[in-house]
């Protein structure tokens, strides 16, 4: 599996039935992930330059079906509203004590999502009391 210079800052992990790609944002302390299986993919913590996710998904034969934000970012403007507009994939966000995230559904500890053959489960750290 080769990489183009555009993806030179990405780390690629491929197992027999799933893909995990780590995407570093140049010039920032920001990393996002694309995980996929069975023709479907999720993006975790997208940056605003969202074309890279569509390019990677297309190269891997995946359709982005879920977008996740794990927490509120004070040092980064989220790309989730942009990416959902490009893909129609729903956005899920962790509990946010600072207020509502109007473009996302709140998803808490124990929530499970099927992405092809992968199952992603939300694990809050630290876990909030039930």
Per-domain boundaries in the chain: 5-121
Q: Which of 28, 44, 34 lies closest to 76, judged by CA?
A: 28
Query: Quick one: tokens of 92?
Result: 């899920």
pLDDT digits (tens, 9 = 90+) for 82-125: 999 999 999 998 776 566 777 888 888 889 999 998 888 888 87
Give the list of residues 6+ apart from residue 102 with CB closer than 8 angstroms, or none.
none
Q: Contact, 43 vs 64, CB < 8 A?
A: yes
CATH of domain 5-121: 3.60.15.10
56 vs 52: CA distance, rounded Å: 6
Q: How far apart are the first and last CA of the chain?
A: 44
pLDDT digits (tens, 9 = 90+) for 37-64: 999 999 999 999 999 999 999 999 999 9
81 vs 97: CA distance, rounded Å: 20
């Amino acid at each position: 599996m080769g990489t183009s210079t555009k993806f030179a800052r990405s780390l690629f992990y491929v197992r027999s039935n799933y893909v995990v790609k780590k995407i570093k944002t140049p010039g920032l302390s920001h990393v996002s992930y694309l995980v996929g299986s069975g023709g479907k993919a999720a993006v975790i913590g997208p940056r605003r330059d969202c074309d890279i996710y569509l390019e990677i998904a297309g190269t891997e034969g995946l359709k982005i079906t879920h977008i996740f934000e794990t927490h509120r970012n004070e040092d980064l403007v989220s790309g989730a509203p942009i990416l959902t507009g490009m893909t129609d994939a729903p956005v899920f966000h962790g509990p946010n004590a600072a207020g509502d995230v109007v473009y996302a559904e709140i998803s808490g500890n124990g929530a499970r999502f099927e992405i092809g053959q992968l199952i992603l489960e939300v694990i809050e750290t630290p876990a909030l009391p039930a």
